[in-house]
Amino acid sequence: MASNVSLRVAKLAVLSESPADEAAFGILIEAVLERPFVRVRANLRARGWPSVLQVLPAVIRHLHFNTDAQGLVVVVDSDDSVVHTEAHDAPDYFHPQCRMCRLRATFRQTVKRLPPARGRERVLRGVGVAVPAVEAWYLCGRDARVTEEAWASGQARGALPYTRGQLKERIYGTDRPSLEYALRRAVAEVERFRRDTRRLEHDFPGFASLAHDLRSWTLG
Amino acid sequence: MIASIAFHNFKALRSASVRLERFNLLIGPNGSGKSSLIEGIMRMGALARLPPSEAVPDGEGGGDRAEVRFRLTPPYAAWEVVMRCATRDHCDALRWIHHAGPENPVEREALRERLRSVRRYEFEQAAMVRGGAGLPDAELAPDGANLAAVIHHRRVAHPDAYERWRRDVLRALPEYDAVSAETDAEGSAVIRLRLVEEAEVITHQDLSHGSLCALAIFCLATDPSPPAVLCIEDLDRGLHPRLLREARDALYRLSHPGNGEARPGHSQIVATTHSPYLLDLFREHPEEVVIAEKHGRASTFRRLCDCPDLAEMMAGVSLGDLWYSGVIGGVPEEPETGGAEVRTAPGGGSGS
Ligand SMILES: [Zn+2]
């Protein structure tokens, strides 16, 4: 995959809710791209759903006209919303309660309206949804019962396999971690995927979607 | 009053300028120069108390020497006031420059008189319940001390202003149905408030920090002889988000008189905030929002209305969320990173 992209370092921006998650996503993005990247406008931040969705058009616009970012990575937690499935990927389909569908649609509608700027057509899209929360990604490979599939089928049965609080408790030992400790733990867990993200992509299609987006970027 | 200010080597403001409106809301990270801007105004006000000195040299030094230049609004638009500082922290004199023809000393004295009245406030709970040792009854201390005495004095000397204050308080704090300033057995001023549907009357000493702040803001907003420039640090401090609208409206009545209410005098207002909810209230007036940006140790100012694409960016999102997101600036600086480590942009290379 890396062979058909330029050797130039990618410039991309990351929009998420916490500096701890951003640090971990940095490692995952680098693992998927198989090369280092430079993060532009490191001080982007969102106040959780639905604020992410509301600020996304402004963030894309800003990156498009005012920075040389080639792509934008957005990662949100699904919380209790509808989990994205392959069926949602059908042409012209859009599930209004699915955060993946909403973010992709907002991305599409926003870039469509923008004229080319700064030598590029558009800011490339990288969207990931952590089901039900990013701590589930951090537990991937440590507990085979924590998967997107397990959560979605629990949702369908009306019996969730675990709560978001339990996931946090297992990663941080508390559901009130300090930012500094959360950052250390997040980075330590995703280090396991630095050389190989296949397990994470398999267990979490919401991450696989992000990886797919990133690999589709032909930068340079 | 002040049309614009240009700072040179003044504290964190190495080379920064800002145009001011009648109302100005300053946002930005801690240490981004919001307070330095206010400090510049206050020092100018303090130096305006001194008689104009003819001895201030014109334009010498330059270089590292701090200087702050103030341009003024009509009727003083021809004037420029230049504050010269011997060091970054010690400003010693004002130069009064008249840009259109020979200066009129009477006009200059009127301007000096007006500029001397600038005031800065940063309310503290402990202070607001205290008397203002040594202060005249009509003057609120910078930390809010003397509040009850000021209101009581106003009841006697300026009943109209007192009534406006009472109306503002009762509208913003609906848990009370009566408020008055009186004197207690020892002759000290006290503000009494009656709880709705309860016989109980409490005094200002029993109020929460936020309620006291509201009383103090309304006190400033209804001042019968308001300062030329009124600076309030952390305007949102202690106020419930739903009270912010009342606070803004009261201050708007001071900065934009004539909006339905006759009142004597008006002030230019410079307020700082970290509240996205307060910022939300300025969506229709982005020209009133000043964004302070920190670049390393230096700071600059920018008006929200000068952000490119502002109207498009604001579509479908609150101004507070937009600010938080970082796209309009005024957020803490973070290093550019890739992966888990801080990197500088490398010239090439590949991880594969
Ligand atoms: Zn979907």
Q: How far is CA B78 from CA A174, B72, B75, B96, B108, in A?
A: 64, 8, 8, 10, 11
- Give the DSSP letter string of A91-149: TT---TTBHHHHHHHHHHHHHHTPPPBTTBS-PEEEEEEESS-HHHHHHTTT-TT-SHH
Rounded to whole angstroms, the Cα distance separating B324 from B333 reads 13
CA–CA min distance B346, chain A (Å)? 7
Q: Is residue B97 part of a domain?
A: no
| Residue A188 contacts B, CB cutoff 8 Å | no
Q: Which residues contact B281 (CB under 8 A, 6 or more apart)?
A: B244, B245, B248
Residue B158 lies inside a defined structural domain of this protein: yes
User: Residue B191's closest CA among B202, B199, B177?
Assistant: B202
pLDDT value at A151 more than 80: yes
From ligand 1's centre to the CA of A44, what distance in Å?
Answer: 25
Q: Is B294 helix (H, G, I), strand (E, B) or coil?
A: strand
For chain B, how many structural domains are there in total? 1
A61 contacts in chain B (CB < 8 Å) = 309, 312-313, 327
Indicate yes or no: CB of B338 within 8 angstroms of CB of A8: no
In a domain, B13, yes or no: no
Contact between chains at B317 and A62 (C-beta distance less than 8 A): no
Tell me, what's the pLDDT at A218?
Answer: 67
Q: Which residues surround ligand 1, an ion (CB under 5 A)?
A: A 84, 88, 95, 98, 100-101
ipTM over 0.90: no
On whether residue B305 sits in a domain, the answer given is no
pLDDT in tens, A38-57: 988 668 998 889 999 999 99
Chain B residue numbers touching A15 (CB-CB < 8 A) = 325
Q: Give the residue-averaged pLDDT of A9-13.
A: 86
Work out the minimum CA distance from A155 to partner chain B, whole angstroms: 31
Give B14→chain A minimum CA distance, Å. 23
Q: Does B311 touch chain A (CB under 8 A)?
A: no
Does B196 map to a domain?
A: yes
Helices within B64-104 (DSSP H only) = none
pLDDT of residue B261: 59
Q: Are B147 and B140 in contact (CB under 8 A)?
A: yes
Chain B hits for A197, CB-CB cut-off 8 Å, are none
**Whole-number average pLDDT of chain A:** 92
Q: Is residue B187 part of a domain?
A: yes
Nearest-Cα distance to chain B for A54, in Å, is 5
Between the CA of B202 and the centroid of ligand 1 the distance, in Å, is 57
Q: Which two tokens stand for residue A73?
A: 């990575």
In a domain, residue B345? The reply is: no
| B339–A26 CB contact, under 8 Å | yes
Instruction: Name chain B contacts of A23, Cβ cutoff 8 Å.
Output: 337, 340
Sole residue written with tokens 């949102």: B236
Residue A1 has pLDDT above 60, yes or no: no
> With a threshold of 0.95, does the pTM exceed it?
no
Beta strand ranges found along B116-166 (DSSP E)? 119-121
* Cβ atoms < 10 Å from Cβ of A93: 10
3 state DSSP class of B24: strand
Structure confidence by residue, pLDDT tens digits, A167-218: 999 999 988 899 999 999 999 999 999 999 999 999 999 999 999 999 998 6
Q: List chain B pLDDT tens, one digit each, 352 residues.
A: 999 999 999 988 999 999 999 999 999 999 899 999 999 999 999 999 988 876 555 555 456 788 999 999 999 999 999 998 877 667 788 999 999 888 889 999 999 999 999 999 999 999 999 887 778 888 999 999 999 999 999 999 999 999 999 999 999 999 999 999 999 999 899 999 999 988 899 999 999 999 999 999 999 999 999 999 999 999 999 999 999 999 999 999 999 987 655 566 799 999 999 999 999 999 999 999 999 998 888 899 999 999 888 998 898 899 999 999 999 999 988 765 554 333 322 223 223 2
pLDDT of A26 higher than 90:
yes
The reply to whether residue A58 touches residue B352, judged by beta carbons under 8 angstroms, is: no
Q: Are A24 and A205 in contact (CB under 8 A)?
A: no
CB A26 to CB B345 under 8 A? no
At B231, is the secondary structure helix, strand, or coil? strand
- CA A38/CA B339 separation, integer angstroms: 8
Instruction: Tell me which residue range forms the domain holding B170.
Output: 125-222
Per-residue pLDDT, B295: 85
Residue of B nearest to A63 (CA): B327
Percent of chain A with pLDDT over 70: 94
Angle between helix axes A179-190 and A164-172 (nearest 10 degrees) is 90
Residue B6 Cα to chain centre, angstroms = 17
Q: Which of A15-29, A97-111, B36-50, B53-67 has the lowest mean pLDDT?
A: B53-67
